[in-house]
Structure 1
């Protein structure tokens, strides 16, 4: 049985993400190792720099973990929506270069926003809104809407205000 193009793209994307995460882990480990060496010097400047360098890897690890958890939940949400036939379809008109027509994306955005306003506790609406924001070119609001969808999907809290 052969995989379709979508399955191959998903696998390639996953392998790339795992590879980059592994490279980052090596980098973080090396920075942490140098930080411990600086602290071991016993000199004030070395200790201060060492502590600062230890904080950076911890912050990086926390952010990477947060992104992986979001990615896993976004995939779970997509799988649930696909199983019920409710996965958003990208049918927006595109230019010859493949870019989404921004005017059409903004026009298609309104129903998704209205759905979230009508039922702010439904993760499905937030998921669709995130992809509408993304199509309209607003990546930061798309990410915020995905985080809200993920929080609601996991049952951790009420919806936030619209981004």
Structure 2
């Protein structure tokens, strides 16, 4: 629950920043000065990119959470726990030992979102966020159709 509150707070702060940058862009465009108009036009791009990025990340989180709940209800979540250090970081060797089974399952059933989602969870448990997000994005894509 605290994660949702933090995401909502950060989203509100980003939206506030986007509004303020958008306002500054309009003010600069209204100056009529070539430099001001150029800067205003450049600042128009920032709010557009910011809104797009915010939407994309929130949509990813919502879809990933929905798939996770579905998989949990089916009893399909990975049962293994990755061993961790005292700091909470996963032991790389322990995580690497789990990869082959989940990677092979995803390769054996490339159209099954469940296998991709489980692979993403194993990557995430190992601390490989980039590959975890790629695998979960693939799961979201496959679950849509």
Q: TM-score, normalised by structure 1?
A: 0.85
Gaps of 5+ in 2: none
Instruction: Give every structure 1 segment of 4 or more consecutive aligned residues whose post-TM-superposition deviation is greater than 3 Å.
Output: none
Higher helix share: 2
CA offset digits 1:105-146 (Å, max 9, x no partner): 001011110011101111111111112222233211111111
Q: How many residues align?
A: 145
CA offset digits 1:68-119 (Å, max 9, x no partner): 1110001110110111111234512222333211101001011110011101
Deviation at 1:17, TM superposition (A): 0.3
2:32 to 42, 51, 56: 42
- Which SS does the other structure have where 2:84 is aligned? coil
Q: Where does residue 33 of structure 1 map in the other structure?
A: 23
**Is 2:74 the counterpart of 1:84?**
yes
Q: Where does residue 131 of structure 1 map in the other structure?
A: 121
Matches within 5 A, 1:17-28: 17-28=7-18
Q: Where does residue 5 of structure 1 map in the other structure?
A: none
Q: TM-score, normalised by structure 2?
A: 0.94
Q: Which one scores higher on RCO, CA 8 angstroms, separation ≥ 6?
A: 2
Matches within 5 A, 1:60-99: 60-89=50-79, 91-99=81-89
